[in-house]
Amino acid sequence: MADRREMWKELGMDVDTHDGLCAALPVAFGDVYLSQKNRPEGMAFWDFVVSDIHGIRPAELLEAQKEGRKVFGTFCVFVPDEIVVAANGIVTGLCGGSQFWVPDGEKVLPKSTCPLVKASVGARLGRTCPFFRIADMYVGETTCDGKKKAYEILGEDVPMYIMDLPQMKRECDMLKWKDEIVAFAKKVEEFTGNTITPEKLDEAIRLINNKRKALARVFEARKNPDNIPISGTDALLVTQIAFFDDPARCAEMCNKLADELEERNRQGVSVFEKGTKRIMITGTPMAIPNWKLHHIVETSGAAVVCEEMCTGTRYFENLVEEGLGTLDEQYMALSKRYMKNNCACFTPNPGRVEDILRLAKEYHVDGVIDVNLKFCCLYDTEGYSVERALKEAGIPVLGIETDYDDGDSEQLRTRIGAFVEMLG
């Protein structure tokens, strides 16, 4: 660890405070992850990544910067990675998922801001996350009010570029988003000094599509109605790390894991006993290391088999058309794919309810837990339509609001335990 401390110091981090996080994470990971039984062997890769989560990837990013590559930090699945990759840049996720960062965020943000935003700002201002220190540019987007205003603070001492996301899905909005992608591409070209050509963009589109396909294979194996080859807690970790990892390596490791899960399905090797109730979690994203709800569900007699969230299906569903010959066609293809994402920031947003009903069938779920991060007005309000549609379809649903703090864990355990019992 000593060499990492040197790296963190050079990054200007508050190393002493950061030690608190370094001490807490292995304990939390041991409790939540290593205590699970019969995990797929392939999870060893993700265990290894978490064991040095602020060391391995940051060191790789620093090496890439020495070679002249730029690192772009993003906060939302709407920012098209393909553009950055086509200009030889690297994308890293920056969303904060730990209570550890929340108090520093609350020094400048209203307490009534969602924990994801508070943690992200806290990680930056408290100087306790290397990814925030390394990123050469932050890329925000106009999705929710909390993030929009937080970007003004985050952008005070790091170049910040904001993409203006339309709030509706009309034809004119598709064209508007395409224009935003074109403008972003120009900015990325200027910032990296590299030109985006149709060939480079097509290569980048294929690379990111391959990552999506590999993640989709992992999720496909979770659809088996007779077997649960991987816990939801493990699957969540795979998606969370995908936001940080090199896309080609992510695809390779996910494909290896999917091979193992498919074999487990053939052999009937399950993580849970036969008859365990299958739960889908819908709602706000769960940035690493937010494992709270999955852990509670999976230690309350049920299994999570799908996540309808940005750290789940919204991250990998839908591919960008490949093999297009001009940049204009490629930018439009990117716009079309990204605008298929049914985030609650759109109005109206019937596609999300349709997705949830479709996924409930595909993953053979017995019940749905619709989770909202406290103070996320968008997903909280949309919970009304989501829960009504599920009830009308005869699918049991439990609405939950929580944050990163463990204070409500026992209360959640009681409610979730009662919900699971009711399913039985």
Q: Which residues sit at the interface with ligand SF4, rule CB under 6 A?
A: 76-78, 114, 116-117, 143-144, 146-147, 284-285, 310, 341, 343, 345, 373, 376, 378-379
Question: Residue 371: exposed, middle, or buried by beta-carbon count in 10 A (0-12, 13-18, 19+)?
Answer: buried
Cα distances (angstroms) measured from residue 75 to each of 47, 235, 264, 316: 24, 20, 35, 16
Bridging pattern class, strands 71-74 and 90-93? parallel
The nearer residue to ligand SF4, 231 or 284, going by C-beta atoms, is: 284
- CB under 8 Å to 329, separation ≥6 — which residues? none
Q: Give the shortest CB-390-to-ligand SF4 separation in angstroms.
A: 19
The nearer residue to ligand SF4, 42 or 247, going by C-beta atoms, is: 247
Q: Give the shortest CB-371-to-ligand SF4 separation in angstroms.
A: 10
> What does the alpha-carbon distance between residue 223 and residue 48 come to, in Å, rounded to a whole number?
27
> What does the alpha-carbon distance between residue 305 and residue 221 come to, in Å, rounded to a whole number?
10
Which residue type sits at 362? E
Q: Give the shortest CB-375-to-ligand SF4 separation in angstroms.
A: 7
> What does the alpha-carbon distance between residue 213 and residue 87 come to, in Å, rounded to a whole number?
22
Q: Give the shortest CB-262-to-ligand SF4 separation in angstroms.
A: 29
The nearer residue to ligand SF4, 103 or 325, going by C-beta atoms, is: 103
Q: Give the shortest CB-310-to-ligand SF4 separation in angstroms.
A: 3
The nearer residue to ligand SF4, 106 or 262, going by C-beta atoms, is: 106
The nearer residue to ligand SF4, 229 or 312, going by C-beta atoms, is: 312
Backbone angles phi, psi at 237, to 5 degrees: -60, -40
> What does the alpha-carbon distance between residue 159 and residue 27 come to, in Å, rounded to a whole number?
35
Q: Give the shortest CB-169-to-ligand SF4 separation in angstroms.
A: 13
The nearer residue to ligand SF4, 177 or 379, going by C-beta atoms, is: 379
**Tally of CB atoms within 10 A around 348:** 10
